Structure 1
């Protein structure tokens, strides 16, 4: 049985003689309808700006703009939860059009002058995307702040840094954490670049190449609070590269948090015991009463993996021909839900870092393993005796191997014995006045790191001190953009109310001559 065509179904007076098929509704229209929450408010703002612009260019009948804006302002008061969306009509725009027709009659037809449904949707999407990028930026900045705070507080906590999860060299845990703060801050300029793409107005673009109505694209952009107008209407309406940038930023920021979470899960395991995840970020086992599972870390890592998959899906979508609906059918929901997920994951990562508990003694114990100072010992042998570094490397390597095999610690005597085997020279270290015990002290090793950006406590504090002003500038930009959004929206609504108050609303269905 052919389903009844719903009232207001677009195209029924032309080439659409039946439909929509229930399978099309479930597989396609319901997908588009799922974007209604995200697009609802932006579609309202797009309608207001379009009618105001048409009125300013004297493209509407005398009383049409006040009457239309009165109805649109009333319609804007209906929440997305209470709005009469009908999934059979397709996307949110079509349901909005049908409701405006119900309220304003034929007068509603003027809203579509010189504008496609797609243009309104693109406007609403970019408005939403801008806000979501700012939300993500806030989360990234807060995560960077939290990591920087912990890095500064751990500037004097000595530990053995790890490569391949093997003890490498004495360092400070503050230096380790600061590396993640640096990476997090670098995501903010990338985010601002993605925001710049979203801040370009599609208004007045028509379907592809513009419209014969000669709409004021710059004026529309100003009304909507966009910073720029796209140079090419087809590009502005159909390009996807900015969406890849936006999702890439979300993925990169989340990967930073995920890599830290990966490390912390290892560091918190009994085999390492270097840190402890706060109880509020752990979950108990239903079966095993002794378990204290670091569930928050799993959430962050799984979320990052999911976002990598979504980015891959978006990149695959971008391989379709240009100007195609399949470029965009899943894009609205995938991109915005991904940004929202990344924002939640960064907030969780920030909370984990803020309440992370360090075991200073366990960290220091690993640093005191004499093998971690092996590189410094080889450096010191070269500096004091004049032998080349590769020879010093072989001396220390033999001494370490003997120490591990015999259980004897490294000493001047044991290293001299290794030097005699490697070089044939006796008392090499004694003659060069190499103090092995002093070189093996991890705190002393850390204090020798005088290069900018090194792991010494003073350098870590200096690094954080230079990082904070940079981070503050990004936070000020985020706040300024958010305030600009609010001001632009307030000005748009005020302009709509001013036009609505200009004259009595026209009766639904009435016609007037277009002003010239």
Structure 2
């Protein structure tokens, strides 16, 4: 903060070294690594400085020769590494002014901050930095969704047991299971798209609270920085915190969906299940037990939700105070977003690698699907359809039949006509008269899946419909992402063209 916080101005003393070490600029890379000293936001500060200069010059609030001189300094920085150069100043959000002081002196450099505050510098950098990470994340999410579609298509007919309470339930297919996971990721994309529309509104020009009495062109700055519009209320633009909490909440939901998929695959890879197996390259072994094949990739993916949920709670706690009280707490908390999103951006490709190389033991799945009474619900349905019983009556008969089979040392899949008749007699003394062929068909797992013909069910016809809907959604989201990335590229080009024009005018003038 040395560009504006000198001794004997408002305060009589220089900044205490301990405040410098812990607050601004705070710990360096040796302590905080890539997230130290607002390093992830420096690219946004650089772009905002340039756009603000262009806007001030166009509004005749800044002499065009001074504007050109400033922009020339920034262009010279871009010949090497502007982020590294800014980081070296340790001035964080005010690194641009600090560098201009070195190059042009305080008089010209001091004009950069006209109509701005640390408040909108931070708010703009937050939105721009998160926006870039969000778009990177959505690109990875699109790839994951595509992989799930492709894997589900290959396993439309791979019958497997369903589970509730970790007990065998009705059979479905591995493809149907995968589409259930894909549905959550589709909703993640819907949520992120809606969030992007709220996020991509510009706080530039809001200053710290009420904007500025200078005639800034907020719309022009917003356009040059790739925003779709303005964060309209100047107080909310800087002090609103719901977007930051929402960013963490959405990341946590996505991480939770990744966790659920990873949890299932990890469980099903255990020898007791033996339904899937991760590729060797995505597994580890034991330093003491030579036989071990540990699904390390899936274990790592399960941990993502721990990070994101912890950071969500942190953001809520930081912002529980009066709405304009948390300042440095807020500044510290900003880097939590980068860590949360960076972990997801690196995690989704790992999930894709797991799916792309996953070994699916289809025969084992189908064997398990027909075990442990998974199709007894179909047997109850048969009693309703062919014996004319009510659902509750049929449900009770089927339950008694399972108990009788187990008491006789048989599995529920071995229920026959004799056991069913005994069960019906015990319940109400009536007979059923069901043929054994119909009973066997009711107990067959593959036949059970084919009977599930309602929309969204696991039968082949319904799966074909669902796959088409998921693919259409994925195509629409892919087109939106491509258009959004192009809009960002166009805005960056417009900013550079505006700078080119100012520099050209200065040379000819």
Q: Tell me, yes or no, whether TM beats 0.5.
A: yes
Q: Distance in 1 between matches of 2:265 and 2:182?
A: 15
The 3-state SS of whatever aligns with 1:214 is: coil
Q: Distance in 1 between matches of 2:173 and 2:263?
A: 19
After TM superposition, the structure 1 stretch with the greater mean CA deviation from structure 2, 336-345 or 173-182, is 336-345
Q: How much does 1:383 deviate?
A: 1.4
Matches within 5 A, 1:476-515: 476-504=479-507
State TM-score, norm by structure 2: 0.93
Aligned 8 A contact 1:439 1:445 in 2: yes
Aligned 8 A contact 2:268 2:275 in 1: yes
Q: Distance in 1 between matches of 2:11 and 2:289?
A: 62
Matches within 5 A, 1:109-148: 109-148=110-149
After TM superposition, the structure 1 stretch with the greater mean CA deviation from structure 2, 388-397 or 72-81, is 72-81
| Aligned counterpart, 2:96 | 96
Change (3 A) 1:201 1:134: same
Change (3 A) 1:422 1:25: same
Q: How much does 1:53 deviate?
A: 1.1
Q: How much does 1:62 deviate?
A: 5.1
Change (3 A) 1:339 1:31: farther
After TM superposition, the structure 1 stretch with the greater mean CA deviation from structure 2, 8-17 or 341-350, is 8-17
The 3-state SS of whatever aligns with 2:373 is: helix
Change (3 A) 1:505 1:15: farther
| Aligned counterpart, 2:74 | 72
Matches within 5 A, 1:165-244: 165-244=166-245
Q: How much does 1:505 deviate?
A: 11
| Aligned counterpart, 1:63 | 65
Matches within 5 A, 1:348-367: 348-367=350-369
The 3-state SS of whatever aligns with 2:210 is: coil
Q: Distance in 2 between matches of 1:326 and 1:68?
A: 29
Aligned 8 A contact 2:262 2:301 in 1: yes
Change (3 A) 1:354 1:158: same
Q: How much does 1:76 deviate?
A: 3.8
Q: How much does 1:265 deviate?
A: 1.0
After TM superposition, the structure 1 stretch with the greater mean CA deviation from structure 2, 480-489 or 71-80, is 71-80
The 3-state SS of whatever aligns with 2:6 is: coil
Q: Distance in 2 between matches of 1:45 and 1:457?
A: 52
Matches within 5 A, 1:206-355: 206-324=207-325, 325-326=327-328, 328-355=330-357
The 3-state SS of whatever aligns with 2:169 is: strand
Relative contact order higher in (CA < 8 Å, ≥ 6 apart): 1
After TM superposition, the structure 1 stretch with the greater mean CA deviation from structure 2, 447-456 or 123-132, is 123-132
Q: How much does 1:120 deviate?
A: 2.3
Q: How much does 1:117 deviate?
A: 2.7
Aligned 8 A contact 1:278 1:352 in 2: yes
Q: Distance in 1 between matches of 2:348 and 2:242?
A: 24
State TM-score, norm by structure 1: 0.92
Deviations 1:214-245 (A, max 9, x none): 21111111222211012111111111111222
The 3-state SS of whatever aligns with 2:62 is: coil
Q: Distance in 2 between matches of 1:144 and 1:155?
A: 16
**Alignment partner of 1:42 is 2:53:** no
Deviations 1:254-286 (A, max 9, x none): 111110111111100011111111111111212
What is the total number of aligned residue pairs between the two structures?
497
Q: How much does 1:73 deviate?
A: 2.0
Change (3 A) 1:318 1:415: same
| Aligned counterpart, 1:423 | 428
Deviations 1:263-320 (A, max 9, x none): 1111000111111111111112122111110001110111111111111111111212
Aligned 8 A contact 2:205 2:211 in 1: yes
Match among 402, 407, 415 for residue 410 of structure 1: 415
Change (3 A) 1:7 1:343: closer
| Aligned counterpart, 1:512 | none
After TM superposition, the structure 1 stretch with the greater mean CA deviation from structure 2, 255-264 or 370-379, is 370-379
What is the aligned-residue RMSD (CA, Å)?
2.1
Q: Which runs of 5+ in 2 are unaligned?
A: 29-35
Matches within 5 A, 1:459-474: 459-474=462-477
**Alignment partner of 1:446 is 2:449:** yes
Q: Distance in 2 between matches of 1:156 and 1:62?
A: 69
| Aligned counterpart, 2:32 | none
Q: Distance in 1 between matches of 2:187 and 2:81?
A: 38
After TM superposition, the structure 1 stretch with the greater mean CA deviation from structure 2, 59-68 or 450-459, is 59-68
Aligned 8 A contact 2:172 2:449 in 1: yes
| Aligned counterpart, 2:31 | none
Q: Distance in 2 between matches of 1:202 and 1:503?
A: 30
Q: How much does 1:35 deviate?
A: 4.4
Change (3 A) 1:7 1:224: closer
Change (3 A) 1:119 1:77: farther
| Aligned counterpart, 1:108 | 109
| Aligned counterpart, 2:396 | 394
Q: How much does 1:327 deviate?
A: 5.1
